[in-house]
Amino acid sequence: MIGFSLIVAYEYYMYFLIHPNLNIESLYLPNFLRGIGHGILYIALTIYVAKCVPFKHFFQGLCVLSFIRTSIATPLGTALLNRWMRKLVQDNIGQLSQNMDQVREWMPHVSLTDLYGQVVLQTTLTSLKELFGWVCIGGTVFVLLLIGYRFWRDGRRALLE
């Protein structure tokens, strides 16, 4: 639960951190939180395998977990987020630039290249914020489900005793 909470904290940190003048030093703390969260999750999975799987199959279990983590989950998650980001960029650039055309000049003292650069920048920032926002909502719901399940399980165990 702590590991997932740290990863969700990373997502919230990135959501509120995104702006055009972001410097690299601002990313140290969120990446540290994400790294600690992943470390806690990997340690918890290893302890779970150590408790549940007989020693004869322990290393096979660890191998399967690492295959799933690195060979399936990472590329699949990256592909889904990239696809979602591409769709958000297409939707947002359509919404942001729907009234821009050559007939009516929007900004007479700005070149079309600079204007297009600003539209792309704002579209990318808006899409990133939206993507991080949805991931934050999903992560928060997941952590709340973990907390609720733990309290439900402990309350049920107390009632049965």
E-strand ranges in 18-130 read none
Both tokens assigned to 104: 């009516």
- Higher model confidence: residue 97 or residue 138? 138
Give the whole-angstrom CA distance, residue 151 versus residue 155. Answer: 6
Mean pLDDT of 108-131: 84
Of the ranges 52-66, 76-90, 147-161, the best mean pLDDT one: 76-90
Q: pTM of the full predicted structure?
A: 0.78
Which comes out higher in pLDDT, residue 142 or 151? 142
Residues near 144 by beta carbon (within 8 Å), at least 6 away in sequence: none
State the pLDDT at residue 117. Answer: 84
Nearest to 127 by CA among 87, 97, 80: 87
CA-closest candidate to residue 46, choices 70, 72, 64: 64
Contact between 15 and 42 (Cβ < 8 Å)? no
